[in-house]
Amino acid sequence: MTVLSAKSLTKIYGGRDKENSTHALNGIGINIEQGEFVGVMGPSGSGKTTLLNLLSGIDRPTSGSVEISGVSISSMGKDELALFRRQKLGYVFQDFNLLDSLSIKENIMLPMILDKKAVSEMEDRVREILALFDIEAIADKRPYNISGGQQQRAAVARALVNNPAIVFADEPTGNLDSKSARAVMKCFRRMNEDMGCTVLMVTHDAYAASYCKRIVFIKDGEIHMEILGKGDRKEFYDRILDCLAVLGGEQNDL
Amino acid sequence: MTFRDIAIRNFKAHARRYLSFFLCSCLTVMVFFMFSTVYLNDGIEKSLKSNTRDVLNASIIAILFFSVLFLSYAYTAFARSRKREFGLYMLLGMNSGAIRRLLLMENTIIAFASLLAGLITGSVLARLFFMTVVNLLKLGDIRYQFNILTYGTTVGVFLAEFLIILLLSDIIAGRAEIIDTFKSGRTAEKDWLRHPLFGVAGLCILTYSLLLKYLYTVGLVEVREMSSVFVVLCFTGLYLIVSQFGNVLEALVKKSKAMYYRNLPGISGVKHKIFRIKTVLFLIAMFSAITVYFIGTALSTLIQADETAESEQPFHLAFVEKGSAGGIPDKELEQILNSGDMKPAEQKNIEFLETEMASGLDYKFKIAALCEKSFNILYDRRLKIEEGRYIMVCPPEMSMSEGSHLDFEECILSAGSQTFHLKLDNRITERDLNKVKYLSEILLVISNSDYERMKTASDPSRIGRLHLINYEDWHRTSEISAELETRLKQADGSSMRDMYEYGHFPVLGSRVATYRQIRSEGSLMLFLTLFLGALFFVASASIIYFKLFSEIDEEREKYRKYFLIGILEKEYGKYVTGELLVLFFLPLVIGAAIALAYGCIDLKFSPFRFESMAYLALVTLAYLAFQAVFYLAAKQKYINDVIGV
């Protein structure tokens, strides 16, 4: 079943007709099936984050359409879109995006709180998720009192709390050391494999990308190539490096 | 690049931050200067009555207090916003000594610039302010004077304040750490003094202070320095309540999980915001309590001037003729009393005897004795009294407590060289007489025959005559009152020889003069309190406003996080509305509640308590209305700015 389907997405910053306008995306089309774990890679400025923002409804395309679970989000109003994001989508960002004034447990619960779910339902769900990601011990702590890795695991937990159709992740390991990054990526894999959750992740980190099942490489606002994982992560990692070398610009990241 | 270059560049880069601090300092200097032109004017100094002087003294203390708080707050807010900057300088290798020098240079420039600007604007506005005060006090002939002392005092006071600020900034610079570069903003969250129990304790302390004030007012407890005790207790309680409000609210709402979760974003926002500006909110609450109370009091004083004058001076004119004092020849007196088209409507002449009363103890005091007949004329009564007995007549306010120690079963009155032993027959309360020189507040009534015997025995200079005069319309008696007063002062050779230990009463008890005095004092008080209140209102409103908008980036970041989770604009608006409502109205409502409670207790025995309370309530409502206008304007702008409409 197709969870996400985007057709001919273009995004032009600075107006269509102006000379100094920037074409961030040039007619990208992408389909993501239920249970997929897709990575988007590409050099800096290739349009990765723009693509993620358009697919997840944070930003609107200049032209083209996005459908998630058969619903077109391109035609939704502001409030409708906000509700859709809250109920159907999950997000994980590089800067964790946790609220300092709330405890970890409350942060995780927040999408359900905004959705006015029943107390027992919220508490059961949060308990279950805290256990899944092994972060029960920090449930009552504030974000600024725990490590970056723990914060990102809490953010992953929050992205899952509303049983989203798809989780979007933007450089989730960008701010983390390699050990924390590994722990966070294991969370993503568990969420994808054990819970059947569909994930779309933007990253420039080849190690993080090796946890994906499919990688889409983009360059200059267009899809350049795609590779599929065959189960062996080490082998997949090497192929990703090769593709990056072909793509250029990312060799120094190794 | 020299050190001076850095300071100058720094100044240019953060011009707006410096400007707001500069404006705050400038405003404070200006207001202080304006007040001191009135306060230190020779002419005003001489012509002020003691009550009015007290009002002025209180205002200058309030201004001084206000200026210290306002300046130090403006400075701390300014300095806090720069902690990161210092951290960055240190990261780049600047030592704390260099930072201190930088701060010293900046602050010296700001101090002198704002002092200069404040003095210039103050000099321009002071004349207007001065004229208003002189006009209100009806002191027509006093001129505005250029007084070097005014400038000297203002400069002295503010240099001292700025010096304190410099020391403060030195401490901040001394404590600056590189880590602050990364942490400031997030560290404010941690504070050990965060527990709802502190808030409960604050409520208890506040309630206790009001209870104590009540018990003190009704005379059930004796407390030394009651007003200081009250102020300390009340404001400590207030501080705890205000600073812990968010925690108490959270603890209360947490009792119902469903309610807590439903309002979580709002509650956490309120808690966070209140804690960040708890001191400002406390100051606002304190000042609003003071402002509401004093404006309300001034207003009710002014509007009840008629009734107050009437109750203080039951007869339109009253004076005592005793010995040479008050001895105006009858013809002249008649002429004065009948000047213009005015004629007395009622005139009473009551004779009394100045005696010394003792109770067997060493303590003796002078007291006026009336015969039964005079008393009956005075009060239109038909009192009978036996020989050898006496009746004590107390005014209403004294019947409660003060008179009781004079309640002797037996007393010894001396007249001339003789003494008379009398027994207490009864103790009664009669309405007030005008308070005039030579007439005691408590009167003794004795039988006609006893009175005659005492009168014969005593020195003729001890015989007094109380003149009580009423007109059809007392409002028109100003000229008669003024002339009579001048004449009585001339005739009164005794000057300060006041026979009664308690109170220095005037030679003439005049209702119209009392009325005018109340009016002019009330107007001055109203003017000063309104002026201070408006000043304070503007200052506090701008502090909240600047505080909100200086931290708007933080709020935008918060909104961005909520937005990504999928909050609706109207949901966010609802939460922010709640936060701002608390921020704008909490201090005002608590402050006004304290003012009303205090007023209620303070006015317990006032005959005008209901009217006065109504005025207090009116001022509270007006204050809230002003704040509401300000709140609505600020709220819309704030939400739009955060959401980015």
Task: Quick: pLDDT tens for A185-217.
Answer: 988 898 898 888 999 999 988 999 999 999 999
Mean pLDDT, residues B173-198 taken together: 61
DSSP annotation of B465? E
Higher pLDDT, B165 or B269: B269
pLDDT above 70 for A43: yes
CA B67 to chain centre: 17
Give the pLDDT of residue B323.
Answer: 66
Give the confidence band of A253 by pLDDT, cuts at 50, 70, 90: very low
B608's tokens: 């005008």
Mean pLDDT (chain A, rounded): 88
Please indicate whether, in this complex, the C-beta atoms of A113 and B271 are within 8 angstroms of each other. no
- Please report the residues numbered 89 through 148 in chain A whose beta carbons come closer than 8 angstroms to any beta carbon of chain B: 89, 91, 93, 97-102, 106, 109-111, 113-114, 116, 118-119, 122, 142, 144
DSSP annotation of B371? E
Give the confidence band of B499 by pLDDT, cuts at 50, 70, 90: very low
Give the pLDDT of residue B81.
Answer: 67
Mean pLDDT, residues A8-17 taken together: 80
**A71-72 vs B317-322, strand pairing mode:** unpaired
Mean pLDDT, residues B522-547 taken together: 82
Three-state SS at B119: helix
The whole-angstrom separation of Cα A166 and Cα B516 is 81
Evaluate whether B587 touches B288 at the Cβ level (below 8 Å). yes
- The secondary structure of B416-429, three-state, reads CCEEEEEEEEEEEE
Give the confidence band of B581 by pLDDT, cuts at 50, 70, 90: very high
Q: Which residue is associated with the tokens 């019947």?
A: B399
Least confident of A147-161, B4-18, B310-324, B413-427: B4-18
The whole-angstrom separation of Cα B317 and Cα B126 is 39
Closest CA to B180 of B56, B96, B288: B96
> What would the pLDDT profile of B89-105 be if each residue is shown by its tens digit?
777 777 777 777 877 88
Please indicate whether, in this complex, the C-beta atoms of B269 and A116 are within 8 angstroms of each other. no
Give the pLDDT of residue A169.
Answer: 92
Q: Which residue is associated with the tokens 């007006």?
A: B622
pLDDT above 60 for A252: no
Evaluate whether B402 touches B502 at the Cβ level (below 8 Å). no
Mean pLDDT, residues B178-205 taken together: 69
> What would the pLDDT profile of B264-292 be if each residue is shown by its tens digit?
989 998 988 888 888 888 988 988 888 88
Give the pLDDT of residue A127.
Answer: 92
Higher pLDDT, B505 or A67: A67
Q: Which residue is associated with the tokens 């009622």?
A: B346
Give the pLDDT of residue B182.
Answer: 53
- How many degrees, rounded to 5, is the angle at CA B128 between CA B123 and CA B134? 120
pLDDT above 80 for B364: no
Residue of B nearest to A83 (CA): B566
pLDDT above 80 for B263: yes
Evaluate whether A226 touches A236 at the Cβ level (below 8 Å). no
> Rounded to a whole number, what is the largest CA-CA distance in chain B?
104
Residue of A nearest to B273 (CA): A101
pLDDT above 60 for A251: no
pLDDT above 50 for A250: no
Q: How many CA atoms lie within 13 A of A114 on its CB side?
A: 28
Give the pLDDT of residue A109.
Answer: 92
Evaluate whether B599 touches B618 at the Cβ level (below 8 Å). no
Residue of A nearest to B256 (CA): A119
Closest CA to B139 of B57, B52, B59, B55: B52
The whole-angstrom separation of Cα B168 and Cα B17 is 18
Please indicate whether, in this complex, the C-beta atoms of A102 and B264 are within 8 angstroms of each other. yes
pLDDT above 50 for A227: yes
Mean pLDDT, residues B306-335 taken together: 81
ipTM of the complex: 0.89
Evaluate whether B439 touches B365 at the Cβ level (below 8 Å). no
Three-state SS at B313: coil
- How many degrees, rounded to 5, is the angle at CA B632 between CA B626 and CA B635? 130
B113's tokens: 């610039």
Mean pLDDT (chain B, rounded): 82
Give the confidence band of B497 by pLDDT, cuts at 50, 70, 90: very low
Evaluate whether B515 touches B305 at the Cβ level (below 8 Å). yes
Give the pLDDT of residue B180.
Answer: 55
Q: Please give, rounded to a whole number of angstroms, the shortest distance from the CA of A229 to a CA of chain B.
A: 30
Higher pLDDT, A92 or B407: A92
DSSP annotation of B325? B
**A214-219 vs A37-41, strand pairing mode:** parallel
Helix axes B511-550, B569-602, angle to 10 degrees: 150
Amino acid at B619: V
Please indicate whether, in this complex, the C-beta atoms of B564 and A58 are within 8 angstroms of each other. yes
Closest CA to A208 of A242, A170, A162, A249: A170
pLDDT above 90 for B44: no
Give the pLDDT of residue B495.
Answer: 40
Please indicate whether, in this complex, the C-beta atoms of A100 and B261 are within 8 angstroms of each other. no
pLDDT above 70 for B632: yes
Give the confidence band of B490 by pLDDT, cuts at 50, 70, 90: confident
pLDDT above 50 for B500: no
pLDDT above 60 for B191: no
Higher pLDDT, B537 or B503: B537
pLDDT above 50 for B189: no
Percentage of chain A lying above the pLDDT 90 cut:
36
**A37-41 vs A198-202, strand pairing mode:** parallel
> What would the pLDDT profile of A114-148 be if each residue is shown by its tens digit?
888 899 999 999 999 898 888 899 999 999 889 88
Helix axes B3-13, B15-39, angle to 10 degrees: 80
> What would the pLDDT profile of B131-163 be if each residue is shown by its tens digit?
888 887 776 677 777 778 889 988 998 888 888
Sorted by sequence, the CB contacts under 8 Å of residue B610 that are 6+ apart come out as none
Burial B5-26 (b: 16+ CB within 10 A, else e): ebbeebbeebeebbebbbebbb
- Please report the residues numbered 19 through 48 in chain A whose beta carbons come closer than 8 angstroms to any beta carbon of chain B: none
Closest CA to B65 of B243, B295, B287: B287
Please indicate whether, in this complex, the C-beta atoms of B264 and A110 are within 8 angstroms of each other. yes
The CA R_g of chain B, rounded to the nearest whole Å, is: 32
Q: Which of B261, B556, B575 should we substitute to test contact with A (largest number of A Cβ atoms within 10 Å)?
A: B261
pLDDT above 80 for B531: yes
Is the pTM higher than 0.90? The answer reads no
Least confident of A64-73, B373-382, B531-540: B531-540
Give the pLDDT of residue B586.
Answer: 92
Burial A179-198 (b: 16+ CB within 10 A, else e): ebbbbbbebbbebbeeeebb
Q: Which residue is associated with the tokens 């009806």?
A: B138
C-alpha distances in angstroms, B95 versus B76, B80, B85, B177? 22, 19, 13, 10
DSSP string covering chain A, please? -EEEEEEEEEEEET-SS-TT-EEEEEEEEEEEETT-EEEEE-STTSSHHHHHHHHTTSS--SEEEEEETTEESTT--HHHHHHHHHHHEEEEETT----TTS-HHHHHHHHHHHTT--HHHHHHHHHHHHHHTT-GGGTTS-GGGS-HHHHHHHHHHHHHTT--SEEEEESTTTTS-HHHHHHHHHHHHHHHHTT--EEEEE-S-HHHHTT-SEEEEEETTEEEEEEE--S-HHHHHHHHHHHHHHH-S-GGG-
C-alpha distances in angstroms, B327 versus B321, B323, B335, B487, B489? 6, 7, 14, 10, 11
Percentage of chain B lying above the pLDDT 90 cut:
16
Q: Specify the DSSP element, H or E, that contains B228.
A: helix B226-254
Evaluate whether B194 touches B247 at the Cβ level (below 8 Å). yes
Percentage of chain B lying above the pLDDT 70 cut:
88
Give the confidence band of B176 by pLDDT, cuts at 50, 70, 90: low
Evaluate whether B199 touches B244 at the Cβ level (below 8 Å). yes
Q: Which of A59, A94, A99, A107 should we substitute to test contact with B (largest number of B Cβ atoms within 10 Å)?
A: A99
Give the pLDDT of residue A24.
Answer: 85
Give the pLDDT of residue B326.
Answer: 56
Higher pLDDT, A198 or B300: A198
Evaluate whether B417 touches B355 at the Cβ level (below 8 Å). no
The whole-angstrom separation of Cα B353 and Cα B444 is 10
Please indicate whether, in this complex, the C-beta atoms of B565 and A86 are within 8 angstroms of each other. yes
Higher pLDDT, B72 or B291: B291
CA B290 to chain centre: 6
The whole-angstrom separation of Cα A70 and Cα A60 is 18
B124's tokens: 């321009």
Mean pLDDT, residues A68-94 taken together: 89
For residue B261, the chain A residues in CB contact (below 8 A) are: 109, 113, 119, 122
Sorted by sequence, the CB contacts under 8 Å of residue B361 that are 6+ apart come out as none
The whole-angstrom separation of Cα B376 and Cα B383 is 6
Please indicate whether, in this complex, the C-beta atoms of B565 and A84 are within 8 angstroms of each other. no
